[in-house]
Structure 1
Amino acid sequence: MNLIDATGLRVSLGGQPVLSDVDFSIAPGEIVTIVGPNGSGKSTLLRTLIGAVRPESGKVRHRPGLRLGYVPQKLAMDPTLPLTVMRFLSLPHRVPAAERAAALEEAGAGTLGDRPMTGLSGGQFQRVLLARALLNKPDVLLLDEPTQGLDQPGSAAFYRQIEHIRSHLGCAVVMVSHELHVVMSASDRVVCLNGHVCCQGHPEVVAQAAEYRALFGSGTHGALALYRHEHSHSHDADCGHTHHEGHHDHGAAPAPRTAEAG
């Protein structure tokens, strides 16, 4: 059973259509990345999946008892607020110190507990937000462009941490990203969005699809070789479908990978 099933989603913001007849699903343990140009509806889809945006039509179904962890694209904080990382993780509801420390460790930020939030680098701040999302022990971790503003090595390290979390905690992951060359390697399936689902499937198959290349150009595929995982199983692509078509069957989730991206 899928953790999340969304069918026929139509969303408008400010009277402007943003999503049209979008189908989306994620299976247990799967890492799915949503890519698309600016204004393509990626963040809106993520917020619709978690229930923050109500669709005009269509449905989002969660598996009963589903726990979600959400990492927003950005979080503005008052720079004069004297708030340590550990204190931040205990707002708005108190969380036992051991649980906060464990979440920081899982997010690769175990040494940051006593640091002031306003003194963190961009990468450290994102890892603390990740730790906050992990406090809920999520079945699905949803991240909205979590490495925006980080350099390429920082981004690659963050995505490797996400793969570690998926492997260690067994949670599924939905990511929105604009960093095609890095994020492709960290995904089991890529959904290419431009108001509707243009193309989806295994990263290397999607990178060859005409719909993907029309949006991003053909040069992006070369970078995949630098980060590519080796897979022993086959993949199916679901490319060339427009938003007028019905629900897509993604099949079983790929087996978790054990290789690390270089």
Structure 2
Amino acid sequence: MIFTDEHIIEAAGKTRVVVRDGRVVEVGSPLIGHCPLAKKFKSPVVSMSQDEIRKNIEERISSFGMCTRKRCVISGDDFVLFGASELLSSALLSKIIDCAVIACDGAGTVIAKNPELIQGIGGKMSGLVKTCPYEEVIKNIESNEGFVPFKEDASIDPFGGVEKALELGFSKIAVTVASSHEAEKIRQKYPETVIVAVHTTGAEREDAVRFTENSDIISACASSFLREIAGPKALVQGGSSVPVYAMTENGKKIVLSKIQKTKMQVLLKGEILPFTSGKDPSPLI
């Protein structure tokens, strides 16, 4: 079977971006006009213009080989305090989990038991929709305590990744999901799994309900419904402009563990949730 050298990412503002042969060949229209997190990127996206988004993706390709055979998969640097990869890396170091099922360009589903592998893959890349397998990237992952269960087609399959992790003998598994149906499916079959909902901008009301009922941690991104539905039920909120909600005791433990390990200054405050700084992405959708 022949695989096209193509990667599809939903980048800043959930903009559809297509990369082929290491080049950005398509940039769609963003769903939102402003994101405080995107302004902090190494190549910042301030106005959500297609040109800025293209330059941001091109910077990622040149700096760490995203969507190429030269993909760097190891990093020890935090980008944001409560990012999914930062939280899962910390949870692994604290032995709250023993692996994380995540997605990587050039490999698809990855089972990672190395915190620097989790951060190297997820810290600077999110919203992966489709990818293709690169032998070089897969070997790099495997040499850094990672497993790639679907090497042939680099499929992105969180449920299948959890099943493979269990087969490999892992028992405290975390997984990132961008689909509320996937979260529900995993929760029903494998209720002990730590489920982290990511890339949720544009989630419909029913998706927000499903994420709320089936996730341990939720990144609210630019979702108005998650702020409305998940926010009041959260046990802990991390961040304010792009809030991360801990919905369960496991989720709370992971967020507090990250606070314990960080060298950053942190404000802790009793507050009715959800809390907003008034600097949310806009518009919330």
Greater fraction of residues in strand: 1
- Bucket of the pairwise TM-score, normalised by the shorter protein: 0.3 to 0.5
Report 1 or 2 for greater relative contact order, CA contacts < 8 Å, sequence distance ≥ 6: 1
Alignment TM-score, normalising by the size of structure 1: 0.32
Alignment TM-score, normalising by the size of structure 2: 0.30
